[in-house]
Amino acid sequence: MSKNQKILLAIVYIISLGLIFLAIFKYFDFTRISDYSYIKYKAETTLSFRNDHYIFFVLLFVIFSIIWILLLGFASPLALVSGFIFGKYFGTLISVLSFTVGCTLLYILARLYFRDLVIKYLSKKIHKFKTLFNKNELLYFMLFRFAGGGGIPFAIQNLIPVIFDMKKKNYFYSTLYGLVPTVFILNSLGAGLEKIIRTSSKPNFFDVILDPNIYLPILGFLIVLIISYLIKNKFFKNK
Does position 100 have pLDDT exceeding 90, yes or no?
Answer: yes
Average pLDDT over residues 183-211: 81
The H-assigned helical ranges of 28-164 are: 36-52, 54-70, 76-86, 88-113, 115-135, 137-146, 154-159
Which range is least confidently modeled, 26-30, 56-60, 119-123, 209-213? 26-30
For the chain, the domains span: 35-235
Residue 228: its pLDDT value, please?
Answer: 78
Dump pLDDT digits (tens) for 135-180.
788 888 888 888 777 678 888 889 888 888 889 999 999 999 999 9
pLDDT band at 112 (very low <50, low <70, confident <90, very high): confident
pLDDT at 128: 66
pLDDT number for residue 58: 93
80 pLDDT higher than 70: yes
90 confidence band (pLDDT: 50, 70, 90): very high
Q: Name the band, by pLDDT with cuts 50, 70 and 90, for residue 220.
A: confident
- Cα separations (Å) of 224 from 12, 79, 176, 190? 37, 16, 17, 17
Q: What percent of the chain has pLDDT over 90?
A: 26
Chain center to CA of 201: 30
Give every CB contact of residue 67 below 8 A, 6+ residues apart in sequence. Answer: 16, 20, 102
> How high is the pLDDT of residue 4?
65
The answer to whether the pTM exceeds 0.95 is no
Percentage of residues in the chain having pLDDT higher than 70: 88
Measured on CA atoms in the order 126, 132, 138, 140, is the torsion positive or negative? negative
CB atoms < 10 A from the CB of 209, how many? 11
- Compute the distance between CA of residue 141 and CA of residue 132 in angstroms, rounded to an integer: 9
CA distance 52 to 68: 25
118-132: per-residue pLDDT in tens? 888 777 767 667 777
- Single-letter residue type at 10: A
pLDDT of 238 over the 70 cut:
no
pLDDT band at 6 (very low <50, low <70, confident <90, very high): low
